[in-house]
Chain A
Amino acid sequence: MSVQSNVEVHTEWGIVSARQAGRNLAKELGFSSVDQARITTAISELARNIYLYAEKGEIIIESVERMQSTGRKKGIKITAKDEGPGIKNIRQVMEDGFTTSGGLGAGLPGVKRLMDEFDIDSIAGEGTEITTIKWNS
């Protein structure tokens, strides 16, 4: 199974579509409703950042697998990509309490905590790429 959805994010509509695509795949992969909510929340946060700070970009949603001693593990991988202004000080934005919205756990550190894996690459002036994975336990 290598379903992959690419959702263009340019409007708030795009955010909703990305959530929808994420939820569909999460359901298909058998994630619980709590995990579905976590995954879609993470997608929302990433997509909103694209919409707010980069104007446009895309969210790619795909399933991933990993072999483990206990068997095959399945997960959902979300990639948020844009060619916007990039993030100058990544370390600072990954700190709690930095978000412009006054924090309360949201923003990128919040996404990192909701998910199992989180990776961010950003170059000022070139763009941002964030990938994050949630494994189905």
Chain B
Amino acid sequence: MADSFSLMQEQYTKILKKYLEEKNETGLYHAQQFSKKVLENQISPEEVVSLHLDALEKYFPDLPQGVFDSFEFLLEVMMGYGMAYREHQSLRDKQKELETEINVAASMQQTFLPKEIPSVDALDVGVISVPASKMSGDYYHFIKDDNDCIGVAIADIIGKGVPAALCMSMIKYAMDSLPEQRLQPGALLDNLNRVVEQNVASNMFITMMYGSYDPRVHHFYYSGAGHEPGFYYHYDTDTFEELYAKGLVLGIKRDTTFREYHKKVEPGDFIVLLSDGVTECRTDDGFIEREELTRLIRKYKHLPAQEIVDNVFYQLEKLQGFQLRDDFSLIILRRKV
């Protein structure tokens, strides 16, 4: 540090001298380059004043004393900037540290999500879930039982970032601890609601849609807790229908029951589950309409489910200038033809 400082001192004296002799733009350009170096070497503002003072003393020893004194004065005035500069440096280090921590947490969070989607012959499944920042407040979950029945959950923690992610990990463990009701959406939400109500801070709200698909009879049972409605696509009529399930947001009221709904799924029909980051995709003209979303899905419906969700995501991401404002999750389950 002391060495690099005396080197800087030497260099400053040199370029200042040259500038004073030639007074041209080249000299000023050197000054600008020097200012970058000053920052690189973490030299604080008051030290720059002292560089100048030293150079003056060396190069113009005969200047009136008042000139030197005035730089001593300036040096004192720059102390405030010096302190702010040091704080800035320490805050920057702290920020780097935080970022590293968040990266670790984010990769831990990834392990909470299913590593692979269970495959059953009857179903074509596509999933995409992308956090708006590093950590996500969306959660999804798949399970398959011995009869090849598939349980699927999509949840949205109201809020974003680290607090939402913490809450999301709670939900994961709560779901894991309720294995018996996995294929009874209503009962599962009843229980989950109790866990959330007891364990999660009262200012955290979770919406969820839970469904279970029985491939033996092609029935889809589902219940919802204040979650953004999905869509049901009818293959024979080529129409979309809202997939709505009435129910209170999880964690609001202890004794809540969740109604179970049911659909008979025909070949080619598909179920679309989503988080509100999909429909609340914001463009300069405001939120997109749900029709816009069905239009997009329809556009890609000839593709495999995974490609549909990937394409829809890409298009919506693009609409928003590649800046997600909310966590985005989209799931499609299609009965194969």
Contacts and interface: CB of A to CB of B under 8 A. Distances in A.
Q: Is the interface of A mostly helix, strand, loop or mixed?
A: helix
B87 interface: yes
Interface of A: 32-34, 37-38, 40-41, 96, 103-106, 109-110, 113-114, 137
A110 B83 contact: yes
Contacts of B50: 32-34
A32 B50 CA distance: 9
A5 B66 CA distance: 30
Interface of B: 2, 46-47, 49-50, 53, 72, 75-76, 79-80, 82-88, 90-91, 94
Given A37-B76, A110-B87, 8 more contacts: A33-B75, A37-B46, A104-B80, A105-B87, A109-B87, A109-B90, A110-B86, A113-B87
B120 to A, nearest CB: 54
Contacts of B76: 37, 40-41
Given A32-B50, A96-B87, A96-B91, A106 B80 contact: yes
Contacts of A106: 80, 83-84
Contacts of A96: 87, 90-91, 94
15 contacts: A32-B50, A33-B53, A33-B72, A33-B75, A34-B47, A34-B49, A37-B75, A41-B83, A96-B94, A105-B82, A105-B84, A105-B87, A109-B90, A113-B87, A114-B83
A104 B94 CA distance: 16
Contacts of A104: 80, 83-84, 87
A103 to B, nearest CB: 7
A137 B83 CA distance: 20
A113 B79 contact: no
Contacts of B49: 34
A22 B88 CA distance: 27
A38 B75 CA distance: 10
Interface centre among A37, A96, A104, A110 (most CB of B within 10 A): A37
Nearest to B84: A105
- For the complex of A and B, the 8 pairs showing the least CB-CB separation, nearest first, are A105-B87, A105-B83, A105-B84, A110-B83, A34-B50, A113-B86, A41-B79, A104-B84
